[in-house]
Structure 1
């Protein structure tokens, strides 16, 4: 049984005929099972040391990289009442196509000839300003003429005053000489009195000439002051009129622009997705949404929301794998090369603030070196994504997952600016 001896009795006695020997014998199926278990253990041990690419998982939706290519809500700029719908849901539109026509609801703009009335007010105000401008020019000329007339009068009076001064000096000299002669008794009193009378007359003429100079100057200054006051009032009226004219022109321009807002136009090429307002005669306010347009987007991308603890591991340019809802896929997150039905992407944008509590948004664009994304994708479709990191052994990834640790980062990701600085420093060395 234990086969300790070199003499075997297997040929003399068959073990199958003895029940005790048959019971001690290992079943054949057990041996096969043991071999399979051993092989599986070997395979499992080998599997534990295979490379596994760590990744950061997230969910999100399809969007557009350029904000102008995302679904846009068209809003009413002014309040109005819907008069006619020119499109229906699902209809493609071109930029500038009329979507809705509205009518006025504010009584201030009810007059159909409002623009004509405003234009008449502007013309009247312009004519008034032209008249006042002519008046100001006339007053300016009048002031100039008064100043010139005053100067001429002053010059004439000064000349007369000089003549009176000369006449007074002569009369004074004659008076002084004759006074001496009269005091000496050489001339009679009547002659001296006649000379004294002429002397006093010359003195009075000099005084009158001085007074006339002051009177002329005061008279002209009064006229000039009055003309300048009229000019100031006219200029003030001109400035007020210019302010009113600016208000009229502003109101005219605003009203003209408002009339162009009665037609709500498509801002760009796209498709009418949903009408927010229905029926005719419905009143809308400023800023009320009218409908939603889906632009003809060419820069498809996906919004991937990842946990805040994983954001430091991300960097622009990281590869990602995307699984779109509606496209069957067999995903091996750690072995992207054997995944089926997923599409490659590249991290383009990482938000600096959280979009949801504890989550950050990452924008992923198609990987140009991978399979193109499906053309049938619609904005808002759900996705699942994996941002690929570095390779680790399978056993490490299992251990990490069991302990809830974040992925490992063997090399800190660098943004584009840091990479450029690093490359410049390396080239200088």
Structure 2
């Protein structure tokens, strides 16, 4: 787990401008050593300048302690080091100050200017000091040694801390950039995980809605017809035994068909292959694009069950209308255009719309004459189911079929999912009309 910038900000526990106590202790130690060094170097400076030794020591202590401010004001530390260079003081402060200056996030021109001033100042002081030593006879080397000593000394005291500071500063900025990138990636991964969870929940909700819609389509129509036939069977059981037997046979056929469709659907749900594939495809986050994913082995038996449970075809519409007619409904079917095959989802949706509309007629307008119109057009298929006002009394009206109010909603969802148009509502004559247009592409 990476540490975000906010967490790093709240983790600053050091005093004043230091981020940590460890940094404060380090700077305090360096400042103490620098102050002692400058105090020791202040003794010969005071003697050469003709001032009291105590003044030189105090001056050295004050000048060396400026190193304590190197993290807050590195430019001031380097300027003080340059200022006391003629007194041959502050070598440690100059080296540490240049390193801190080069490692800080400052413009390169400022770093180059101060480093150049330090280089020139050190070179001049070294040149003068070596010339004085040679003039006093302390050094007996040739004249070539003076420029050589001044150049090498100035470069040795300036170049290494500057180069090291530049390297450390670049590495620090690189690490900060990598840390920020890691924080960003962590936030993106968290967002992707949340989106994947939302998409998975959406897929589960869609699957539950689809299953509920399929169960409603399978059960509502068959059971509604069974209830209608059972009511008619009760009405004619004593008056017309033969008709009662025919109704009983129809009830048995309807029950077996309903059980068969439910068994096929439950078989698909039990295998779970279709639902798992849909949920998996909906819950894969964009970050996994391009990553090979192992496909599950296809089970031909489960594929057959799923294909069988997908629903009927439009070719079975005559059978559907025949079942309603056998239940006592007067149904008029008209087909326009040349019949042809459509996509599986289009045919299933068209069939289910007609089936649910007929079921609603059985529930709410038993005995009413119903007109079913199917139009095959160039780029779409249209269907309309309209019933006339129901008669006041009919044998089927005793069925008292319940209604959950989900039939029209399920039809609308099916049609709109395919980009179609669905309209339903009462007619001026007192009946009810259901119309749908589905693209045939």
TM-score range, shorter chain: under 0.3
Q: TM-score, normalised by structure 2?
A: 0.27
Larger Rg computed on CA atoms? 1
TM-score, length of structure 1 as denominator length: 0.27
